[in-house]
Amino acid sequence: MTENPQQVTSASGPGGAIYDIGYRRYVGPRLGRRFAVRSLFAHTVRGAFGIGRGGRAKVVPFGLLVILMIPALVSLGVGALAGGAAEAFDPITYQGYYSITQAILFLFIAAQAPELVGPDQRNKVLPLYFSRPILRSDYAFAKLAALVAALMLFSLAPQALLFFGRILQAPDVGDGISKNLGSLLPILATACALSLFYAAIGLAISAFTPRRAYATAAIIGLFIASNAGVGILWQLLRGDARRILAFFSVETILAGVAAFFFDEKSENMIVRRADLPGWSYLVAVAIIAGVCIALLFRRYHVVET
Amino acid sequence: MPLIAISDLTKRFPGVTALDSLSVEIEPGIVGLVGANGAGKSTLIKILLGLLAPTSGEAEVLGMDSRRDGIRIRAVVGYMPEHDCLPPDLTATDFVTHMGRMSGIPSDGARERTADVLRHCGLYEERYRQIGTYSTGMKQRVKLAQALVHDPRILFLDEPTNGLDPAGREEMLDLIRRTGTEFGITVVVSSHLLGEIERVCDFLVAIDAGRLLRAAPLASFTQLTDLLAIEVEDRHDELAAMLGSRGLSARVDGSLVLVRMTAGMGDGPYDIVRDTVVDLDLPLIRMEQGRHSLEDLFRAEENDEAVAAGAPS
């Protein structure tokens, strides 16, 4: 360590020279707020997959990803063995896949959303973030965008596998493309809606309950209570009034959105029987996600540091 | 132009005034911000970072308005909070690099800077270990490193020696001194312990209950702080007068008689006090030098000025 930053000392030896150049000023570029927000986004996406947080943190996300891919692999495997003959009997549709995705991503949200925002509050890292060239709302935005992106990756991975697998398995690739291409936009649109919906709910709950266990319990509770509650009430009630129940469970809302985008009959019994206009589910997603996002931003606007 | 210009700054929270028309200018160097707990030090730092809006008044940092230019200010200043603020499951290297990027430094630069500042802060092989395994002293070093990673022009340190053992305090103070002198970064360091802060600062800003008590070079503080307190049971006035007649500047303060000590007097004053007490046949209860708390300093400060004014010598 030199006393003077300008002074350069050297120790020459057979291995070369070691220079102590003292404190060096940083003269490179300072990229400011946009870069900072992008960095937080990337850091959070990595965190959602447990990357950079040790081996154990990767078990849940990657385990769920593998489970999520299994139906697609089985479907393609059967298709490969049976040739074109199996296509007619393949129970897996793009729309139907989202009911599997939805159930598994719910576990992902319950496990990972608290992990993305809880520790920063628990360990009081927020003051360090807020002393950077970003706004409090930038922090909330980066976290939300990162979780949406992670969920998009999760929802699209099996769909992409199925999509390209089916095209390649078709006797004629051109034919395969024309058969499957129509599903591309619905696949993307449903993934967007699902990801935004889950991310907004998961983060809003997690941001208010920094204790991981509480947040996970609250998310699981909300999903199970809404799904089971609507299922039970559907059986108990009769008449037109019960149709509105379809807006009150995570499962039916997302099933309704998927059916709307794919422009098909829903695979969900309640959604099919309720027979509500498809766009109304999209409105439900927009309202619920909007309220959750507003709560999330509000939380970071006022949270004490 | 001063690095930090604060004029008439007031911050009120519901039920409490944290800062009360505070005005002070801060020039480059190592600046101590002293005051008792709750004096408004942390509030002042948060306003300067643009994280809190003042109720009234202005604060400029590097010529930028703290209300409007918070983002630009935070790009070029560093902040080390008082409390724990580190994620236990990341390594120091990963965390400080991440914080460098959060300050707008591109990834390559952030990695390079991280290696530099961790080394400067005295973290070597440990930096690849998770922060959760660190001692308090090592965590303080990481906290300092994250505040330095973007090569700030001003560094705000909020009670950096809190929770450290004496050796750790010594090392932290040494680091602060080096940051200010070698690195050429202006350091504003807050503390409620004057004895500690006066070892590293060259300028002192003292606040109490949100008001500025005094802002002056450290030298002018210490000149006035050497007071000898003599506690006797009664006849204080007589003692003070007799000490005065024997060449000491003394005044009565409650049950104490305070004598101003000047450098170069040696043991002389003690002998005079002893002889005077004997001559007056007074029961001497205690004789004490130095102050251990900030409150004492401020009180003595006022008293000393009174001594200086009342007893020219």
User: CB–CB of B192/B159 below 8 Å?
Assistant: yes
User: Which CATH entry fits the domain spanning B4-222: 3.40.50.720, 3.90.1150.110, 3.40.50.300, 3.30.70.3270?
Assistant: 3.40.50.300
Contact A133 B103 (CB under 8 A): yes
User: CB–CB of B34/B190 below 8 Å?
Assistant: yes
Nearest CA-CA distance, residue B157 and chain A, Å: 12
Query: Taking the model in full, what pTM does it have?
Result: 0.81
Task: Please report the pLDDT score of residue B309 as a whole number.
Answer: 46
Contact A33 B71 (CB under 8 A): yes
Nearest by CB to A119, from B51, B76, B87: name it. Answer: B87
The answer on pLDDT for A8 being more than 70 is no
| Mean pLDDT, chain B, whole residue set | 83
Nearest by CB to B101, from A4, A25, A36: name it. Answer: A36
Q: Which two tokens stand for residue B5?
A: 């210009």
* Mean pLDDT, range B133-146, rounded to an integer: 92
The 3-state DSSP class for residue A1 equals coil
Query: Which CATH architecture best describes the domain B226-310?
Result: 2-Layer Sandwich (3.30)
Q: Where are the domains of chain B?
A: 4-222, 226-310
Nearest by CB to A23, from B86, B150, B182: name it. Answer: B182
Nearest by CB to A28, from B72, B88, B106: name it. Answer: B106
Q: Of the candidates B50, B94, B80, B226, which has an alpha carbon nearest to the alpha carbon of residue B161?
A: B80
Q: What angle do CA B131, B135, B141 make, to 5 degrees?
A: 70
Q: Provide the pLDDT confidence category of residue B297 given band limits of 50, 70 and 90.
A: low
The answer on pLDDT for B194 being more than 90 is no
More confident residue, B78 or A8: B78
More confident residue, A176 or A13: A176
Q: Which two tokens stand for residue B157?
A: 């340190």
Nearest by CB to A30, from B49, B75, B89: name it. Answer: B75
CA distance B7 to A8: 42
By CA distance, what is A56's nearest residue in B? B89
CA distance B263 to B130: 50
Nearest CA-CA distance, residue B75 and chain A, Å: 5
Q: Where are the domains of chain A?
A: 33-302
Task: Please report the pLDDT score of residue B34 as a whole number.
Answer: 86
pLDDT tens across A57-100, in order? 888 889 988 988 888 888 888 777 776 555 556 677 887 788 88
- The residue among A8, A38, A116, A132 with the most chain B CBs within 10 A of its CB, best to mutate, is A132
Instruction: Enumerate chain B positions whose Cβ falls within 8 A of a Cβ in A.
Output: 49, 51, 71-72, 74-76, 78-79, 81, 83-90, 94, 98-99, 101-106, 109, 113, 116, 120, 130, 146, 150-151, 182-184
The answer on pLDDT for A11 being more than 60 is no
CA distance A181 to B168: 66
Residues 6+ apart with CB under 8 A from B67: B50, B53, B54, B59
More confident residue, A207 or A9: A207
DSSP state of B230: E
Least confident of B132-141, B168-177, B298-307: B298-307
User: CB–CB of B239/B231 below 8 Å?
Assistant: no
CA distance A178 to B266: 101
Residue B14 CA, chain-centre distance (Å), reads 27
What order of strands is seen across the sheet that includes strand B186-191?
A: B77-80, B154-158, B186-191, B30-34, B203-208, B211-217
Q: Which two tokens stand for residue A15?
A: 């291995």
**A–B: how many Cβ contacts below 8 A?**
104
Contact B104 A130 (CB under 8 A): no
Q: Are β-strands B256-260 and B4-13 bridged in parallel, bridged antiparallel, or unpaired?
A: unpaired
Instruction: Enumerate chain A positions whose Cβ falls within 8 A of a Cβ in B.
Output: 3-5, 22-26, 28-33, 35-36, 39-40, 43, 52-54, 57, 119-120, 123-125, 127-135, 305
Nearest by CB to B83, from A22, A124, A132: name it. Answer: A124
The answer on pLDDT for B304 being more than 70 is no
Q: Are β-strands B186-191 and B154-158 bridged in parallel, bridged antiparallel, or unpaired?
A: parallel
Contact A124 B109 (CB under 8 A): no
Contact B106 A53 (CB under 8 A): no
> How does DSSP assign B169-218, residue by residue?
HHHHHHHHHHHHHTS--EEEEEES-HHHHTTT-SEEEEEETTEEEEEEEH
Q: Which two tokens stand for residue A115?
A: 């992990």
C-alpha distances (whole Å) from B204 to each of A196, B31, B61 are 52, 6, 18
Q: Provide the pLDDT confidence category of residue B223 given band limits of 50, 70 and 90.
A: low
